[in-house]
Amino acid sequence: MSDARVFIGDLTRKEFRNRMQAGAIKAAVVPTGATEQHNEHLEMVHDTLHVTHMAEQAARRLHPQVVVATPIGIGYSEHWMEHIGTLTVRSEIFCEYVFDVCHSLQRAGLENILILNGHGGNVRPLMRRIDEYRDRLGVNLRFQSYWDVYDPDLVAATLENKRLPGHADEYETSTMLVLAPERVHQMDIDNPAAAQGTRQKGEKLIEPAIAGVTEILRKMIAGEEVDAPPATFQEGRRIHMLTGEPLPPTTGEARCHPLKTGPRQDRT
Ligand SMILES: [Zn+2]
């Protein structure tokens, strides 16, 4: 493919306008990440790089139907401020910033907008607002983390710790060993779970995430239901990221649960 540019910022206004007017662009992705401590050995840009990769690859598979907004590289990371260097914004500022980006896309004529998240701390703030934001914008606005799409059996079969995304341990170390091995500072690994990360595990886990995100976008464009509850994987089980309740093993038809105040949230 000669022109597979998917980032809006890589297009001229003329190119973007022409694609919109031709009806070529059907959906946009807004990646949300973080700049936060990732243990001793992973770089603080980790979550932003990860989610941007998933968004870009999924958009390429659906090119030219999907464009990707400039990634939001600072999220809600108040829980890691004890580790200096972490950057955070207040949750209400973060949500409103995300809203404004989505509003810009709506004003451009986008009718399908996926906020694709790569940082656990962003889930609770955005889940509180997403229904309101959808109503205000009057478009098909969805919020999912890229890991929501995983099959728990794959997670259990691939990771010794059976935990995903976890925080800077086996999963994230494994995937970064594929995406940018120079960003894994192997000499500084200081915890057993991270030490179990391998490139092979990363290779097994990246493709299903891209495929799952691609499927979300395809469904959105086709007008199909896509909502899945925010998930995390522990002990090989898929559980609700905010309430800790067990979830059915597969994503897809499950509706977003109304947000309850749960006892736990992954520090991811
Ligand atoms: Zn992370």
Each residue's pLDDT, cut to its tens digit, for the chain (268 residues) gives 457 899 999 999 999 999 999 999 999 999 999 999 999 999 999 999 999 999 999 999 999 999 999 999 999 999 999 999 999 999 999 999 999 999 999 999 999 999 999 999 999 999 999 999 999 999 999 999 999 999 999 999 999 999 999 999 999 999 999 999 999 999 999 999 999 999 999 999 999 999 999 999 999 999 999 878 999 999 989 999 999 999 987 754 343 333 433 444 446 6
Integer Cα distance of 146 and 268 in angstroms = 14
The verdict on residue 258 lying in a domain is no
Kindly state whether residue 166 falls inside one of the protein's structural domains: no
- Does any domain span residue 41? yes
Ligand 1 center to residue 265 CA distance, Å? 14
How far is ligand 1, taken at its centre, from the CA of residue 94, in Å? Answer: 17
In a domain, residue 178? The reply is no
CA of 34 to the centre of ligand 1 (A): 8
> What is the model's pLDDT at position 227?
77
Taking the C-alpha atoms of 91, 93, 94 and 96 in order, what is their torsion angle to the nearest 10 degrees? 120
Residue 206 CA to residue 179 CA, distance in Å, equals 9
145 C-alpha vs ligand 1 centroid, how far in Å? 12
- Max Cα distance, the chain (Å): 53
Tell me, in angstroms, the distance from the centre of ligand 1 to residue 48's CA. 8
> In this structure, what token pair is assigned to residue 162?
């059976």
How many Å lie between the centroid of ligand 1 and the Cα of residue 245? 22
Ligand 1 centre to CA of 63 (Å) is 27
Domain that holds residue 137: 8-150+208-240
Phi, psi (degrees; rounded to nearest 5) at 61: -65, -25
The reply to whether 175 falls in a domain is no
pLDDT of res. 248: 84
For helices 170-179 and 46-61, what crossing angle results, to 10°?
A: 60
In this structure, are residues 1 and 62 in contact, taking their beta carbons and an 8 Å threshold?
no
Q: Is residue 163 part of a domain?
A: no
Rounded-to-integer distance, Cα 219 and Cα 213, Å: 10
Q: Do 176 and 42 touch, CB atoms closer than 8 A? A: yes
Look at residue 4 in the predicted model and tell me its pLDDT: 87
Q: How far is the CA of 25 from the centre of ligand 1 (A)?
A: 30
Question: CA 19, CA 64: separation in Å to the nearest integer?
Answer: 8
For 148-186, write each residue's pLDDT tens digit.
Answer: 999 999 999 999 999 999 999 999 999 999 999 999 999
On whether the CB atoms of residues 24 and 64 are closer than 8 A, the answer is: yes
| CA 27 to ligand 1 center in whole angstroms | 26
Question: Does 264 fall in a domain?
Answer: no
Measured in Å, residue 96 CA sits from the centre of ligand 1 at: 22
How many whole angstroms from 189 Cα to the centroid of ligand 1? 15
Centre of ligand 1 from the C-alpha of residue 46, in Å: 6
Expressed in angstroms and rounded, the spacing between residue 116 Cα and the centre of ligand 1 is: 14
Q: Residue 180's pLDDT is what? A: 97
Ligand 1 centroid to residue 135 C-alpha, Å: 30
Measured CA to CA, the distance from residue 43 to residue 39 in angstroms comes to 8
Cα dihedral sign, 145-151-157-161: positive
Within a domain: 169: no
- Single out the residue of 169, 128, 121, 50 nearest to residue 267, CA to CA: 121
Sign of the torsion formed by the C-alpha atoms of 12, 16, 21 and 22: positive
Residue 114: give its domain's CATH number.
Answer: 3.40.50.10310
Question: Which DSSP symbol is given to 164?
Answer: B
Nearest residue to 268 via CA among 97, 103, 109, 121: 121
CA 108 to chain CA centroid, Å, is 23
User: Domain count of the chain?
Assistant: 1
Separation CA 76–CA 92 (nearest Å)? 9
